[in-house]
Structure 1
Amino acid sequence: MQPTEPRLLPWPAAAAALDGPARLRHLAAGALRTGRPLAIWREPGAAHARLLISRSLEDAYTGLPPALDPAAPAGFAFFPFHESDHNPALFLPADVQYDLARPEAVSIAPAARGLVPNIAAWLALPPPPTLAWPHGAPPAPPATTEADYRRLVQRGVAAIEAKEVVKVVSSRVAHRPLPPGFDPLGAFQDLSRRYERAFVSLVSVPGVGTWLGASPEVLAEVTADGHFHTVALAGTQQLVPGHRPQEAIWRQKEIEEQALVARYIVNCFKQLRLREYQETGPRTVAAGQLLHLRTDFEVNLRNVPAAASLGTDMLRLLHPTSAVGGMPKAAALDFLRRYEGYDRAYYSGFLGPVNVAAPGVSRLFVNLRCLQVRAEEAILYAGTGLTADSDPLREWQETELKLTTVGAVLR
């Protein structure tokens, strides 16, 4: 009979002096050294990070099972903005887990029992001085100049005025040199300290690359008490020192932009004939030194027929949301394909743990405020939602503000 409970592998006596973060580095080093995919994340407000390792690259390419289904296997979803051969939709099975809240042992899934000797060997090795993180195979997208981005905004506004789209979300790329001795795991810990309310993540997959981020935006989640939750997040301004978020004053442009995102979510509910939901907001929320407008939507799945499929059906409708693409969805995505000028890869896709904390508990976040680690530089991404009132210079300045979130670890 196959075992059904995970194997708990205690740390050897040689590692007794190592603290939790050092043990996390130890495990990450073993995964990187043997070419295995890994994900490290810290959920908003959580005190401790978690690590997940998959047995092999092939296991990671099995695609995403019903993402918000309690019967789905445990793992970590890492989805691109637009799926392609270069940017596959990934689901990393939770073969090996390590939770800094319980640092005494490593958990190994029943299907991965064959890894026990390998993991034991990793733990017995001395701590590595440096880690070799993989870089993506496709060429890095070119950096977007200010002139190019302002032209893109002008095209977007013209498309809105011509009623080709109601809203479009343009984005850009920036290149930043890596500081000497840059350590992605150290940068992850830095982001976790800086942005307590963000979903901080470090995902590394051979052939795909290494991505680091601190996202403020929930895409979809199912809680332990059976509630589905999503948010409409849009509008950006800087938090003024000495002022509270509640004191922010919003322009009509940001109010309209956020209302369009909220309306998009309500339309998704209507497509599923879902009428019983709670809407709260909009309200001003802080994400680091930035402020956004946010509306929360919540559904009690115990009151919904066919609740097991609701989360997955909503996920299919939501991604990519109007907050990262635009609306109507097809027309906005067609505009971006024609004019944006680069492949977003995993920027503005989504990521997060599925059934890891407990069966039926999943939290997926939009991959915003993120960077891709290359050999000598970081590729950063930022976008802005356009309406008929958008000003090209102000939109460029908003992207500059957004780049400072994850860019802070490069100083």
Structure 2
Amino acid sequence: MTEPRLLPWPAAASPDATARLRHLAAGALRTGRPLAIWREPASEHPRLLVSRSLEAAYTGLPPALDTQAPAGFAFFPFRDSDHNPALFLPADVQFDLARPEVVRVAPAARELVPNLTAWLSLPTPPELAWHYSAQPAPPGTAEADYTQLVRTGVQAIEDKAVVKVVTSRVAHRPLPAGFDPLAAFGQLSRQYPRAFVSLVSVPGVGTWLGASPEVLAEVTADGHFHTMALAGTQPLVPGRAPQDAIWRQKEIEEQALVSRYIVNCFKQLRLREYHEAGPRTAVAGQLLHLRTDFEVDLKNVPSPSSLGTDMLRLLHPTSAVGGMPKVAALEFLHRHEGYDRAYYSGFLGPVNVAAPGISRLYVNLRCLQLRPEEAILYAGTGLTADSDPLREWQETELKLQTVASVITPPA
């Protein structure tokens, strides 16, 4: 049995595709299974993936991001550890709102068919039992503590211990009564049509919701590899065209460092044939960033099947979330940042789900972690020698607003 099993919905089931997605998510959560729900940039249709068990998940990336890699969803932390494992969730059960009349079951998960068939006929539970992390919640970061961290980072740059470092902080927000993560996912999808919007819930690991603007690595159906350098931030001013934005030297330098880092990764793989476009101003919700795109035609690469995975190993964590040089910047963060980022500034996304050979992985930015009564929000800023502590704090405040909007009750 090599083809997926297509299970039709019972005639009595709700015809509404969103209600069907909720029904499947409830079944996965009720039985303690990992799930991922996502919506690609500019797409109207979310997808859902359920793995038959946490034990079936890979603790790491498949051998290569090519047509031979299994279909699934990558969910990687900033730093791999026993309590923040790097996960690849197999696509055992799939539901696509673009084709809501069927549920796809992978051959490896055919033992789920009887129970799943029965579950499709049952009413949807009124509440969904989302997974929560077993780790202690990181402490919130006070303004005085973050501005001092920025000063320490700038001093490290002046002392030439690092060229650039990306510091981050944590904010806690109480959840409003009756908060619904799936409804919040839908709200983020409407508010940020150009973002990769995701809702991932894994036993023991927790539930994460986000709307990321940044591609880490993409392999397309026509055999091209893409990545981007995204850095520098300013608010989108109403009535002003994004292309008219004026960038300070600090943001220009910050973005150039990320671009040079990507080019250096290409050089390490002896890759000389690539196309670079930018920098240009890119819109991400209510923020503007500087963006440079990189593209490689895999037909011109000696080992195309391994390029995606090789680049991932070199890129992550990128200089846009860690700093440069990588080892020195990560050591600085370990000593001074004061908390475990877990899956914030890691990466996530589908591999070979839409079709064999199509993979899209995004940096896990503009995200929050759900706890029973609160949300833990994360934001960071890239520091250079010209960084001003108060400006950096204000930039994190702007970035927090992306996901904070879905947990703030209307006035």
Fold conserved (TM > 0.5)? yes
Question: Within 2, Cα distance between the matches of 1:63 and 1:265?
Answer: 22
Answer whether contact 1:61 1:88 (CA < 8 A) is retained: no
What does 1:24-173 correspond to in 2, within 5 Å?
A: 24-173=21-170
Give 2:239's aligned residue: 242
Which stretch of the first structure deviates more once superposed, 238-247 or 65-74?
65-74
Give 1:202's aligned residue: 199
Answer whether contact 2:59 2:85 (CA < 8 A) is retained: no
Give how far 1:227 is off. 0.2
Moved segments of 4+, more than 3 Å: none
Give 2:302's aligned residue: 305
Give SS of 1:191's match. helix
Residue type matched to 1:220 in 2?
A
- Within the candidate set 374, 377, 383, 1:377 is matched to 374
Answer whether contact 2:64 2:306 (CA < 8 A) is retained: no
Give how far 1:325 is off. 0.1
Residue type matched to 2:107 in 1?
P
Question: Within 2, Cα distance between the matches of 1:352 and 1:210?
Answer: 15
Question: Within 1, Cα distance between the matches of 2:246 and 2:8?
Answer: 53
Number of aligned positions between the proteins: 408
Give SS of 2:55's match. helix
Give 1:349's aligned residue: 346
Give how far 1:61 is off. 4.2
Question: Within 2, Cα distance between the matches of 1:259 and 1:371?
Answer: 28
Give 1:285's aligned residue: 282
TM-score, normalisation: structure 1: 0.99
Question: Within 2, Cα distance between the matches of 1:403 and 1:289?
Answer: 11
Give how far 1:178 is off. 0.3
Unaligned 5+ residue runs, structure 2? none
Residue type matched to 2:105 in 1?
I
TM-score, normalisation: structure 2: 0.99
Give 1:401's aligned residue: 398
Question: Within 2, Cα distance between the matches of 1:345 and 1:384?
Answer: 17
Give SS of 1:207's match. coil
Give how far 1:286 is off. 0.3
Residue type matched to 1:325 in 2?
G
Q: Deviations over 1:37-67 (max 9, x none)?
A: 0000000001100000000010124432135
Unaligned 5+ residue runs, structure 1? none
Residue type matched to 1:343 in 2?
D
Give 2:4's aligned residue: 6
What does 1:166-245 correspond to in 2, within 5 Å?
A: 166-245=163-242
Question: Within 1, Cα distance between the matches of 2:17 and 2:125?
Answer: 15
Give how far 1:121 is off. 1.7
Question: Within 2, Cα distance between the matches of 1:65 and 1:324?
Answer: 23
Which stretch of the first structure deviates more once superposed, 264-273 or 55-64?
55-64
